[in-house]
């Protein structure tokens, strides 16, 4: 460790994700282990602009490993998107002597940090915290495992009532333009069909897949839909199916923000802990304008320019889902 960095700032931004607190804890304790001062920046870039910073110690992050959400809060800031807003933020960092930043969030968070680094040269490292798992450069993002487990738990419960009443349930999960939660929870929950943004499927093809069950008198079924589906949201798709056939008794469940909350799984806690330590050590070893990631179970540092690509769904997962949906 040859860096002259003595004081760092850590913050969370964008949508919250289970495991963010575990990442904050790891950053703070790793920094203190290496004899650095740590400041938490409240409410992301908004707090940076307003100078809402607080000194953090070892005990400040005690008993947060198992908690969902983020103790540093999070917000989206329109002002930070302007050069004037970023100037205010940088000046406030200077007032506290902060020499480097670690951000926990998604692609919007990373874009903001890259702009700050480009304009002022401040060393920066990002930690991917988003349930969507849609960021290139890492196999997993913090929060994805917990959110998927939450979705699977909901699907299991819905299956019970679907079987009791011979119903077709459309279950909408989160993921914005990413189908990672949908494809994984759909396979794990035994869905009869899974609709994700990454796959082009016509309504007719989807409908034919559903009605194939009529031959075997299959009247209960589950369809898992990613919120960014090209066929439309769950309510719209259910309406279209109901207009074409009275064979199914159709219900819709939108799991929604339940997927963002709750105690993180052990996998997310361990991943967040690894990434938090790697972020601090990366700064001390001269890394900057990069994102920590995990690939093939090894920690890596991804240059910002390499993060412009979308994290693609494994085509093998889509193939398996089709085989198992009969």
Please identify every residue annotated as catalytic. Answer: 132
CA nearest to 64, candidates 36, 23, 9, 35: 23
Q: What angle do CA 319, 324, 326 make, to 5 degrees?
A: 115
Any idea what the Cα angle at residue 318 is, between residues 177 and 193, rounded to 5°? Answer: 85
Q: Report the SS3 class of residue 55.
A: strand
Cβ-in-10-Å burial (0-12, 13-18, 19+) of 308 comes to exposed
DSSP code of residue 129: B
Q: How far apart are CA 36 and CA 131, in angstroms?
A: 30
Q: SS3 of 150, please?
A: helix
Supply angle C-alpha 149, 109, 194, rounded to 5: 35
């Amino acid at each position: 460790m040859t860096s002259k960095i003595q004081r760092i700032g850590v913050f969370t931004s964008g949508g919250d994700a289970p495991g963010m607190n575990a990442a904050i804890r790891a950053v703070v304790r790793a920094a203190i282990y290496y004899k650095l001062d740590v400041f938490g920046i409240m409410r992301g870039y908004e707090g940076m602009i307003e100078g809402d910073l607080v000194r953090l110690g070892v005990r400040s992050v005690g008993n947060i490993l198992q908690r969902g959400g983020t103790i540093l809060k999070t917000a989206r800031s329109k002002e930070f998107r302007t050069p004037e807003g970023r100037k205010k933020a940088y000046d406030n960092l200077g007032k506290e002597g902060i020499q480097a930043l670690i951000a926990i969030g998604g692609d919007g968070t990373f874009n903001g940090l890259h702009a700050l680094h480009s304009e002022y040269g401040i060393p920066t490292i990002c930690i991917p915290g988003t349930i969507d798992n849609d960021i290139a450069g890492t196999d997993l993002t913090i929060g994805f495992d917990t959110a998927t487990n939450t979705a699977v738990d909901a699907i299991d419960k819905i299956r019970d009532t679907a079987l009791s009443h011979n119903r077709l349930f459309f279950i909408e999960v989160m993921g914005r333009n990413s189908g990672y939660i949908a494809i994984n929870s759909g396979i794990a929950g035994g869905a009869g069909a899974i609709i994700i943004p990454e796959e082009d499927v016509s309504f007719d093809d989807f409908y034919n897949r559903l009605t194939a069950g009529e031959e075997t008198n299959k009247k209960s079924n589950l369809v898992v839909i990613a919120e960014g589906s090209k066929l439309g949201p769950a309510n719209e798709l259910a309406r279209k199916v109901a207009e074409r056939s009275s064979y199914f008794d159709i219900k819709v469940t939108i799991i929604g923000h339940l997927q963002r909350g709750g105690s993180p799984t052990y996998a997310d806690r361990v991943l967040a802990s690894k990434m938090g330590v790697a972020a601090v050590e990366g700064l001390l070893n001269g890394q900057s304008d990069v994102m920590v990631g995990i690939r093939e179970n090894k920690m890596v540092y991804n240059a910002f320019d390499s993060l412009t690509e979308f994290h693609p769904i494994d085509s093998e997962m889509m193939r398996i889902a089709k085989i198992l949906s009969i």
